[in-house]
């Protein structure tokens, strides 16, 4: 039995209505209901098959023929890439889904009458259950907040595990202009295909997570579960018009969602790079590793790249085992290595060492900087012996963007290959504000809707974020001084090779 969050009031509401009642369905009525259920499940199955087509198309968009061949080869698995339809960050949830939520978090609940089934004689009835929705905080950055939305179906305690049992309802979701569209309801988090079919047995109370179908089919939509929505449940008896629960915008406060304002738990999802552009690229690399056979601890390691008082690079690094799920602070034994040097450094900070070192070798600059965002510090010139030197910015995304724009064409020219950028025309899936004085190459994600290539700029364009660049499959270019662009406007995109 699931522990109920509804308390006494929720239990009384459930007991006030009949827990189960036989429904006199004749053969024709039972057949009509079965047909409606079969049609609904067929629609869900079609979305699965469409997902396969969408994924193949996405694979072709992301890379070359070699990547496509790898994705379709029977002997090798397809290359992994992020699920662009995901509803929450992968780090937010793990299996099993939480059965309870902090008492202070808002919950949206209703007694819903579901169809039920008695297997001993094959008769249908109804059972009243409590359906509750609530959100789990996924971020604590203080800059933006996102969440995952869970859905629980609770049987009355006296009916747990007994027959007749309720049947999983049909589920549709309304948000904005999308009315009563199919939504994926999964029993496990971080999945792509998993969903629960209508009439699946609910022998015991269960918890599910709301997800998006990986499909652009008109029967579904891409939902942002942080925004308001109304979810409707159907038992498919004759005359059923649905039973709905409305959920408002996710807007956490210290009182309602304290975890949205706390440090995130330490896990392998924290592995990555952080840098501070204001301090010449000073930053830290962190890795959190699982220990074989150990489910209670992680190995936390880090390397911090900073500067000593004289301005020379200075490394600090260390590691320690930490309790799984701890939010810190933690203490780590640290060693240091002075007098080193950093890779890169083509920036405009106080510690731009690459250009100074090149000038000591007689470097003659031909290009001092470029009017490109990101990547203004990029420079180019020639050494006395004729060697060319291309200086890329220190921030990872800046370096990767400028490598696409400037380094790749040079390497292709040396190989005798075409040097033109691989540009394509797309339409904006969202409006964009006016651009500044520099040409802006925005990290973007591509999709296809009704045969039209759509470009969606990723939300965070910070040039220090490698994860954002890894998620992108194109660079959307905005010309210097470009005026605001409306949704549906034509845009030029540079296709990224993800082979």
Cα four-point dihedral sign 85, 88, 90, 96: negative
Structure tokens at 472: 């992108």
pLDDT, tens only, 175-195: 999 999 999 999 999 999 899
What pLDDT is recorded for position 350? 56
Asked whether 363 and 389 are in contact (CB, 8 A), the reply is yes
Q: In which residue are the tokens 């696409």 written?
A: 404
What pLDDT is recorded for position 284? 85
- The residue among 389, 346, 348 whose CA lies nearest residue 366 is 389
What pLDDT is recorded for position 142? 61
What pLDDT is recorded for position 255? 87
Q: How far is CA 175 from CA 107, 172, 182, 456, in A?
A: 19, 10, 11, 20
Asked whether 325 and 295 are in contact (CB, 8 A), the reply is no
Give the CATH H-level superfamily of domain 423-495: MoeA, C-terminal, domain IV (2.40.340.10)
Q: Give the C-alpha separation, 174 to 425, whole Å.
A: 32
Segments of the chain scoring below 50 in pLDDT: 1, 3-18, 20, 22-24, 50-73, 340-346
Does this model's pTM top 0.85?
A: no
Strands (E), 158-281: 165-166, 170-175, 178-182, 184-186, 206-211, 229-234, 243-247, 272-276
**Per-position b or e across 149-183, b if 16+ CB within 10 A of its CB:** bbbbbbbbeebeeeebbbbbbbbbbbbeebebbbb
Q: Give 426: exposed, middle or buried? Use CB within 10 Å, 0-12, 13-18, 19+.
A: buried
What pLDDT is recorded for position 104? 75
What pLDDT is recorded for position 317? 84
Task: Map out the domains of the chain as residue ranges.
Answer: 7-52+78-261, 268-338, 353-403, 423-495
What pLDDT is recorded for position 190? 93
Structure tokens at 274: 């952080």
What pLDDT is recorded for position 469? 84
What pLDDT is recorded for position 282? 76
What pLDDT is recorded for position 25? 56
Structure tokens at 133: 């929705």
């Amino acid at each position: 039995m699931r522990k109920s969050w509804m308390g006494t009031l929720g239990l009384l509401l459930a007991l006030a209505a009949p827990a189960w009642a036989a429904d006199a369905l004749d053969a024709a009525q039972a057949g009509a209901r079965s047909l409606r259920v079969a049609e609904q499940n067929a629609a869900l199955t079609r979305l699965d098959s469409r997902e396969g087509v969408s994924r193949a198309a996405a694979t072709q968009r992301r890379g070359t023929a070699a990547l496509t061949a790898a994705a379709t080869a029977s002997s090798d698995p397809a290359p992994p890439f992020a699920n662009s339809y995901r509803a929450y960050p992968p780090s937010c949830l793990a299996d099993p889904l939480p059965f309870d939520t902090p008492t202070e978090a808002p919950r949206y609940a209703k007694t819903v009458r579901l169809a039920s089934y008695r297997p001993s004689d094959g008769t249908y009835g109804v059972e009243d259950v409590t359906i509750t929705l609530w959100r789990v905080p996924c971020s604590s950055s203080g800059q933006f907040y996102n969440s995952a939305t869970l859905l629980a179906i609770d049987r009355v305690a006296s009916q747990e595990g007994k027959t007749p049992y309720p049947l999983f309802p049909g589920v549709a979701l309304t948000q904005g202009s999308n009315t009563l569209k199919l939504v994926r309801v999964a029993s496990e988090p971080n999945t792509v295909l998993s969903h629960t079919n209508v009439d699946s047995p609910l022998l015991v109370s269960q918890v599910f997570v709301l997800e998006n179908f990986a499909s652009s089919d008109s029967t579904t939509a891409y939902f942002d579960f942080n925004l308001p929505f109304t979810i409707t449940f159907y038992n498919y008896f004759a005359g059923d018009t649905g039973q709905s629960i409305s959920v408002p915008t996710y807007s956490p406060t210290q009182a309602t969602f304290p975890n949205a304002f706390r440090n995130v738990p330490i896990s392998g999802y924290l592995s990555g790079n952080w840098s501070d552009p204001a301090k010449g690229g000073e930053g830290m690399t962190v890795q959190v590793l699982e220990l074989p056979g150990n489910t209670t601890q992680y190995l936390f390691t880090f390397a911090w790249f900073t500067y000593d008082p004289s301005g020379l690079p200075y490394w600090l690094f260390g590691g320690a085992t930490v309790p799984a799920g701890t939010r810190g602070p933690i203490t780590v034994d640290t060693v240091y290595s002075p007098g080193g040097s950093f890779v890169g450094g083509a920036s405009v900070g106080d510690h731009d060492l690459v250009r100074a070192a090149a000038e000591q070798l007689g470097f003659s600059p031909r290009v001092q900087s470029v009017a490109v965002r990101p990547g203004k510090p990029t420079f180019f010139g020639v050494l006395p012996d004729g060697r060319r030197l291309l200086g890329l910015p220190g921030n990872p995304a800046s370096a990767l963007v400028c490598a696409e724009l400037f380094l790749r064409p040079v390497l292709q020219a040396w190989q005798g290959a075409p040097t033109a950028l691989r540009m394509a025309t797309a339409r904006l899936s969202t409006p964009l504000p006016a651009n500044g004085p520099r040409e802006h190459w925005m990290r973007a994600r591509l999709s296809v809707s009704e045969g039209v290539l759509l470009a969606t700029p990723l939300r965070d364009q910070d040039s220090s974020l490698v994860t954002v660049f890894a998620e992108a499959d194109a660079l959307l270019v905005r010309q210097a001084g470009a005026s605001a662009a409306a949704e549906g406007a034509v845009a030029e995109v540079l296709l990224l090779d993800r082979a």
